[in-house]
Amino acid sequence: MKLKHQGIILLGLPLVCQLVFGTVLLQNMLNISSAGKKEAQAKEIISNCQIIRSSAMRIVMLLGAQKFSSNAHFYESVNALNSGTAKQALRLKTLVGDDKEAKALVDDYLVALKRLSDLLADLFVKDYDRGEDWLLAQYASDAEYLEDAFYAYNQVIRADGKLVQHYIPVVKEFQPKALAEQQGLITQIAVVGLLNIVIVIGLGVLFGKTTLQRLGILMKNIRLFSKGEVQLVDIPGDDELAELHREFRQMAILRNDAEAKRRSIQAMVSHDLRTPLSSASLTLSLILLKDKDDLSPRIVEKMERLNSGILRLLRLADSFLDLEKIESGKMELNCQSVRVEEIFKSVVDAISGMAQVQSIKLVEEIPFDEEINCDKDRVTQVLVNLASNALKFSPKDSIVTLRAELLEQKNIRFSVIDQGSGIPEQQMHQLFKRFSQLEQTAETKGLGSGFGLYVCQMIVESHGGTIGASNAETGGAIFWFEIPQRVGS
């Protein structure tokens, strides 16, 4: 599965759960709201019933009081109560809405109220000033009228009771139901929240574990490639990491092939250069040795310069070969006990011609008399390279010092000190990089290959040592390296 699809699932699944939960939550909230409206409606209906019941009771009481008084106040009070009761009864019809059972109960209620209202309208005599009797002829006595009035009142009370009983359960059930709904919502929120956490963690662990494993394989392959290995572990699949690994693997194979070809060409060129150069240098050395007195000073000088240039080319060819050995892991050290004086003598013999051409004095400083166990030829090679660079960047009639110091840690520090212009601080970091060269003057431009110091660093590190450079306080540069007095100890 591609990483983008994993991301969609990781984000989409919890989102779907949230949408479903939101829908359920909204529905539950609507249910609670609907139940709350029904509860409020039931309370209002019960309240209206109480008002009507109270009004009906007062009307009957006023009827009884009218028996003993002819005061018009009773009539006005009864008329006002009767009118208010009629309005409350009509309000009930609106409140019950589409509830068929409640509508039937309200209809019975209204019939009972109509009966009581009609009874009152028929029996009251409006004109008290004429002294008419308050009862109509169809009632033989007050008792008969009151019996009908109380019967109508009882019918109202009975209908009122049925209507109230119909809505009391709605009021009683609302609070527990609402509480249960709220607890249910809280439970749902907790469950859905926990479910989302579990889903996110589960998917994260599932996808993350797989992705991290594949990234681990990719990192392992990168480390193998950095060591020159091309037999890389495969990453199966068709996601982005698998595609990246296939591209990386192809790049590694191509780079390894190119590197192998480069090393082959480098070794071939070095060998082909070394043979004729060695012959030319040997010939010039023999001529200078045997026939120097027969040659003019000018010819001798030119031949010495020519031999110095050939020796520089030989060192360049040797550096190519060393570089190929280092990168292929074939360079071996031939360590033996040797005195520092012997190493310095070999270095001076190698660079004295170049020093004489530039009128530069070579000075040796060895303040101790102990042997060192190392590969003499490789250490000499490093010192020759450093000293050659010092000569290249030193002015005429100056001094180049070769110094050896025995340190407390049983390390030997070799230093090459010149009196040149020093090393620019901004270029210090690139001194020992492969094919890296410092800015050169017109006189020194083209005299270096750019990997001599890189080879020096590899040789020193193969001895278990370190190499570095700094600027001297009195001017000039100091190139140094430290190796154990006993390599491998």
Q: Judge contact between 431 and 481, C-beta under 8 A.
A: no
Residue 255: is its pLDDT beyond 90? Answer: no
For residue 156, the model assigns a pLDDT of 78
Residue 346: is its pLDDT beyond 80? Answer: yes
For residue 436, the model assigns a pLDDT of 65
Highest mean pLDDT among 20-34, 144-158, 416-430: 416-430
Share of the chain above pLDDT 90, in %: 13
Q: For residue 238, count other CB atoms closer than 10 A to its CB.
A: 10
In the CATH hierarchy, which top-level class contains the domain 3-202? mainly alpha
Say which range, 44-48, 337-341, 354-358, 380-384, has the weakest mean pLDDT: 44-48
Say which range, 119-123, 196-200, 273-277, 421-425, has the weakest mean pLDDT: 119-123
Question: CB-based contacts of 448: which residues, under 8 Å, 6+ apart?
Answer: 389, 392, 437, 440
Angle between helix axes 240-290 and 3-66 (nearest 10 degrees) is 150
For residue 400, the model assigns a pLDDT of 94
For residue 380, the model assigns a pLDDT of 93
Residue 481: is its pLDDT beyond 90? Answer: yes
Q: Judge contact between 375 and 335, C-beta under 8 A.
A: yes
For residue 83, the model assigns a pLDDT of 72
For residue 222, the model assigns a pLDDT of 77
Please state which CATH number belongs to domain 236-331: 1.10.287.130
Instruction: Return the higher-pLDDT residue of 112 and 384.
Output: 384
Highest mean pLDDT among 243-252, 297-306, 464-473: 464-473
For residue 409, the model assigns a pLDDT of 77
With bands split at pLDDT 50, 70 and 90, how would you rate the model's confidence at 22? confident
CA atoms within 13 A on the CB side of 268: 6
Residue 150: is its pLDDT beyond 80? Answer: no
Whole-number Å distance between alpha carbons of 59 and 67: 13
Say which range, 372-376, 425-429, 475-479, has the weakest mean pLDDT: 425-429
Q: Judge contact between 270 and 321, C-beta under 8 A.
A: yes
Mean pLDDT confidence for 148-155: 78
Where does CATH 3.30.565.10 sit in the chain? Answer: 332-489
For residue 182, the model assigns a pLDDT of 63
Mean pLDDT confidence for 296-301: 84
Determine phi and psi for 134, rounding to 5 degrees: -85, -5
For residue 5, the model assigns a pLDDT of 61
Which residues, listed in sequence order, are joined to residue 471 by a DSSP beta bridge?
A: 477
Residue of 390, 327, 324 lying closest to 361 (CA atoms): 390
Six-digit token string for 111: 């019939």
Determine phi and psi for 291, rounding to 5 degrees: -110, 15
Helix, strand, coil percentages (3-state) for the chain, rounded to 5, are 70, 10, 20
For residue 482, the model assigns a pLDDT of 94
For residue 128, the model assigns a pLDDT of 40
Q: Judge contact between 64 and 154, C-beta under 8 A.
A: no
With bands split at pLDDT 50, 70 and 90, how would you rate the model's confidence at 126? very low
Mean of per-residue pLDDT scores for the chain = 76
Residue 130: is its pLDDT beyond 70? Answer: no
Instruction: Return the higher-pLDDT residue of 281 and 119.
Output: 281
Whole-number Å distance between alpha carbons of 255 and 273: 26
Mean pLDDT confidence for 64-68: 60
Question: CB-based contacts of 345: which residues, under 8 Å, 6+ apart?
Answer: none
Mean pLDDT confidence for 374-386: 91
Say which range, 176-190, 304-318, 370-384, 472-486, has the weakest mean pLDDT: 176-190
For residue 72, the model assigns a pLDDT of 56
Distance of CA 183 to the CA centre of its chain: 38
Question: CA 12, 15, 16: angle at the middle one, nearest 5?
Answer: 85
Please state which CATH number belongs to domain 332-489: 3.30.565.10
With bands split at pLDDT 50, 70 and 90, how would you rate the model's confidence at 129? very low
Residue 266: is its pLDDT beyond 80? Answer: no
With bands split at pLDDT 50, 70 and 90, how would you rate the model's confidence at 361? very high
Residue 108: is its pLDDT beyond 60? Answer: yes
For residue 13, the model assigns a pLDDT of 66
Which residues, listed in sequence order, are joined to residue 364 by a DSSP beta bridge?
A: 402
For residue 272, the model assigns a pLDDT of 73
Residue 448: is its pLDDT beyond 60? Answer: no
Where does CATH 1.10.287.130 sit in the chain? Answer: 236-331
With bands split at pLDDT 50, 70 and 90, how would you rate the model's confidence at 383? very high
Where does CATH 1.20.120 sit in the chain? Answer: 3-202
Residue 23: is its pLDDT beyond 50? Answer: yes
Place of tokens 């080319």: 313
With bands split at pLDDT 50, 70 and 90, how would you rate the model's confidence at 224? confident
Share of the chain above pLDDT 70, in %: 72
Residue 275: is its pLDDT beyond 60? Answer: yes
Say which range, 61-65, 157-161, 200-204, has the weakest mean pLDDT: 61-65
For residue 362, the model assigns a pLDDT of 93
